[in-house]
Chains A and B, each alone.
Chain A
Amino acid sequence: QKEVEQNSGPLSVPEGAIASLNCTYSDRGSQSFFWYRQYSGKSPELIMFIYSNGDKEDGRFTAQLNKASQYVSLLIRDSQPSDSATYLCAVNTGFQKLVFGTGTRLLVSP
Chain B
Amino acid sequence: DTGVSQDPRHKITKRGQNVTFRCDPISEHNHLYWYRQTLGQGPEFLTYFQNEAQLEKSRLLSDRFSAERPKGSFSTLEIQRTEQGDSAMYLCASSLVGALGQPQHFGDGTRLSIL
A binding-site residues for B, Cβ under 8 Å: 4, 31-32, 34, 36, 42-46, 49, 51, 88, 90, 92, 94-103
Contact = CB atoms under 8 A, between A and B. Distances in A.
Contacts of B100: 31-32, 51, 92
A98 B104 contact: yes
Contact of A44 (B44, B48, B91): B91
B85 interface: no
Interface in B33-63: 33, 35, 40-45, 48, 50, 55-56, 58
Given A100-B43, A102-B42, A44 B106 contact: yes
B45 A99 contact: yes
A103 B42 contact: yes
Given A96-B33, A96-B50, A98-B101, 16 more contacts: A31-B101, A32-B100, A32-B101, A34-B101, A34-B103, A34-B104, A43-B91, A43-B106, A43-B107, A44-B43, A44-B106, A46-B103, A98-B45, A100-B42, A100-B43, A102-B40
Contacts of A95: 56
Given A46-B103, A102-B40, A96 B31 contact: yes
A43 B111 CA distance: 10
Contact of B42 (A51, A96, A101): A101
A36 B108 CA distance: 14
Nearest to B107: A43
Contacts of A42: 108
A95 to B, nearest CB: 7
Given A92-B100, A96-B56, A46 B105 contact: yes
B101 A92 contact: yes
B41 to A, nearest CB: 6
A96 B104 CA distance: 10
